[in-house]
Amino acid sequence: MTFRFLSGFGAYWMLLGKVFSRPEKPVIYYRQTMKELVSLGLRSIGIVIIISFFMGAVITLQTAYNTENPIYPTYLIGLGARDSIILEFSSTIVALILAGKVGSNIASEIGTMRITEQIDALELMGVNSASYIILPKVVATLIFNPFLTLISIITGIAGGWIVGTTAGVITSSDYIYGIQYAFIPYYITYALIKTLFFAFIITTVSSYHGYIVEGGSLEVGRASTKAVVYSSVFILLVNVILTQLLLS
């Protein structure tokens, strides 16, 4: 088991070496990157907005129910929702959702190219298939995922405000005061830094599992599952490490 993990880990880094080699025709890579921005970025906005809205609503309601004691000022509900959304939920939880959506899509797409011998055809033509297929996906997610995180933060805080005031657990003025109180701008930077690491993990790990597929459609399905599982595990591991390094 340990040998298999180390072997796979080494193969992953060898693949990254091929991915980040010098592009042969930058114009083609630019076109591919634009396509991936739409496929992996723009098409993820909807699910990010929906999840973030209800995530902010639930955080606000739970914070309100846990601070019902009169000694706690109600503006703490907004403050707690803001910090929870910025520090953790809009970066880590959204990344885990994208690992399921984007990661499985990447693994199945590349895995299908492998079993239908499209990758072999690229290699026969002298094209660096790893770089041609994977690099645009990595660049696209590194560019667009920070915007998804910012959208998630705004939507989550707005969702908390709408549901919190509608449910009557907090007034609009208290909530707005809470999200402004003792705000630390570095928290946004921290969330965006984590997002870049998570985007890299999702794209490269999923691409690796799709790229090494052998067999048929059943193996492609298994590769997609492995991509989601491994991406999620590494996201959580890196989250702990970055939290210790960036907030200590």
> Distance (Å, rounded) from C-alpha 149 to C-alpha 194?
10
Residue 1: predicted pLDDT? 61
CA distances from 124 to 24, 57, 67, 119, 218 (A): 15, 53, 65, 9, 26
Residue 16: predicted pLDDT? 87
Residue (of 193, 204, 244) closest to 227 by Cα position = 204
* Residue type for position 107: A
> Distance (Å, rounded) from C-alpha 160 to C-alpha 153?
11
Secondary structure of 127-187 as H, E, C letters: CCHHHHHHHHHHHHHHHHHHHHHHHHHHHHHHHHHHHHHHHCCCCHHHHHHHHHCCCCCHH
**Secondary element (H or E) of residue 19:** helix 2-19
Instruction: With H, G, I as helix, E, B as strand and everything else as coil, classify residue 107.
Output: helix
Contact yes or no for 204/227 (Cβ under 8 A): no
| CA 16 from centroid of its chain's CA atoms | 19
| CA 82 from centroid of its chain's CA atoms | 19
Residue 3: predicted pLDDT? 65
Tens-level pLDDT at each residue, the chain (248 residues): 666 777 887 888 888 888 888 766 778 888 899 999 999 889 999 999 999 999 999 999 998 888 776 677 888 899 999 999 999 899 999 999 999 999 999 999 999 999 988 888 888 888 888 888 999 999 999 999 999 999 999 999 999 999 999 988 889 999 999 999 989 999 999 999 999 999 999 999 999 999 988 888 888 889 999 999 999 999 999 999 999 999 87
